[in-house]
Amino acid sequence: MNTPQAIAFDEFGRPFIILKEQEKKRRLTGLDAQKSHILAAKTVANTLKTSLGPNGMDKMLVSGDGDVTITNDGATILSQMEVEHQIAKLMVQLSKSQDDEIGDGTTGVVVLAGALLEQAEQLLDHGIHPIRIADGYELAAQIALEELDKISESFPINKDVKGLLVETAKTTLGSKIVSRCQQQIAEIAVEAVLSVADLERKDVDFELIKVTGKVGGKLDDTMLVKGVLVDKDMSHPQMPKVVKDAKIAILTCPFEPPKPKTKHKLDVTSVEDYHKLREYEKNTFIEMIKQVKDTGANLALCQWGFDDEANHLLLQNELPAVRWVGGPEIELIAIATGGRIVPRFSELTSEKLGHAGIVRELSFGTTKDRMLVIEECKNTRAVTIFIRGGNKMIIEEAKRSIHDALCVVRNLVRDNRIVYGGGAVELACSLKVGERADKISTLEQYAMRSFAEALEAIPLSLAENSGYNPIQTVADIKSRQVAEKNPRLGIDCMNNGSNGKHENSKMQLVRVLYIRLIFNYFIIIIYLTILSCN
């Protein structure tokens, strides 16, 4: 069938064809549009559902360039998916918001949002208006938050007693590739956060924690450096590998003669002119080195490179130097050593030098890889987590895992309340919301019951991923929570017989939730529901 078309002319008299395809397009409205939006969100949630919990499956993601990423981190999976639907993109943003604000629970929040929308679809089929559904969800969220405050437990944060912090950090590592080394990595994460934490203000400056990795070795070689690690070595192989009581000049100006900033050019037409130019360059290098040494510096870190002549003169004048240090590393070194970044040699003074107890060069086995470690810094709070792994993929996943563990410990410093995981808290809130729904006479009671059913999506997914019969397992735990009045009962994902009945139950069933921010992600879900249903 021929497509209807028309010919029009532009201002220059050139013809162009107008294709009339609007007749083939159909605009979705009403309930069809709402269901289309909900279906897109459910599809994204179902994709992540199998990655939830310690027994969840990893996803293999292949980029257009052929790079392979294997992870079960919800935010990473969604950020690398090519999502076209606008409501599905909102689910991606929801996961990213959870990652930015809390750092953990990025998979669970998407699964919960998908369950809420799935329940909203059934209510729409019964003719309930989207605004009434959203009102009921918001009322149920408030009840759930009140229940969270009641069943939460607190414990003191103390730098001398780290056992509970390590156990809670381990809960976020159990489902990761690094679970084999979860004890070691949890201890590193706790030590790193406590090193930079201000317990009086309940604040953690993540800018002082640098996470870096290098291919080679094994995960067990991952370590915490109380200082700064720079992936560089001394600019000359004969320079000393260890500098004690280092006074560091942090430079963002290159060791080279100034170049004319005009359109004029310099012509060298004779041997005498060449020798004069060479002498000028040499004198300039020597003057720069003298300016650095006059301040008392015994180590120079330069953001830019310098040529072999400058490198040789630095060696002759016994001034160790490091070149091509990146901008973020320069800033972190300045913070750690208490130094100032100097953009010109003329501005360098002894007061602007950074101070460190020792700067040493590390070498790795039989390889030629070398790195600089700056330790015993003036600001002892700056730390670096150095990850080793067999390949780049392992190191990148270890970085994501350590980020989650750091965020968990950071959240505990900010708010030292915990609730029990394994779906226990979701079931407790579900029971409470269902109980309160029976006391409400308005139409919102149906939305509240749907909210309570949606909360059960988390324990159902955990049970299914752990190989249990999901409906039977969740029904059994719900009845036990009611009979025993114990909100700490959850899914035994690790199959270790721990049922959470007592306060000293195994911490594998504990997942840290930053309760003050849970309200934020409930509100985001409510906003998503309203937008999807309009």
Sheet containing 510-511: which strands, arranged edge to edge? 153-154, 417-420, 510-511
Please give the single-letter amino acid code of residue 1: M
Largest CA distance in the chain: 101
- Could you confirm whether 231 is annotated as catalytic? no
- Residue 241 class from Cβ within 10 Å (0-12 exposed, 13-18 middle, 19+ buried)? middle
Residue with tokens 């076209």: 84
10 is catalytic: no
* Residue 106 bears catalytic tag: yes
Q: How far apart are alpha carbons 38 and 34 in whole angstroms?
A: 6
CA angle 346, 353, 250 (to 5 degrees): 70
Rounded CA-CA distance 410/488 in Å is 23
**Is the CB of residue 295 less than 8 Å from the CB of residue 249?**
yes
Catalytic pick from 50, 69, 71, 73?
Answer: 73
Q: Check 404, 473, 492, 529 and give the catalytic one.
A: 404
Nearest to 455 by CA among 61, 5, 72, 113: 113
The phi, psi pair for 259, rounded to 5°, reads -95, 145
| Residue from 47, 107, 337, 384 carrying the catalytic annotation | 107
Query: Which is the catalytic residue, given 47, 76, 106, 529?
Result: 106
Output the CA–CA distances (angstroms, integers) from residue 155 to 187, 190, 248, in the order listed.
18, 15, 42
- Cα distance between residue 283 and residue 285, in whole Å: 5
Structure-token pair, residue 464: 């299914």
3-state secondary structure of 270: coil
**Distances from the Cα of 202 to the Cα of 157, 296, 358, angstroms:** 10, 38, 31
Contact yes or no for 59/73 (Cβ under 8 A): no
Q: Are 322 and 230 in contact (CB under 8 A)?
A: yes
Catalytically active residues are 73, 106-107, 404
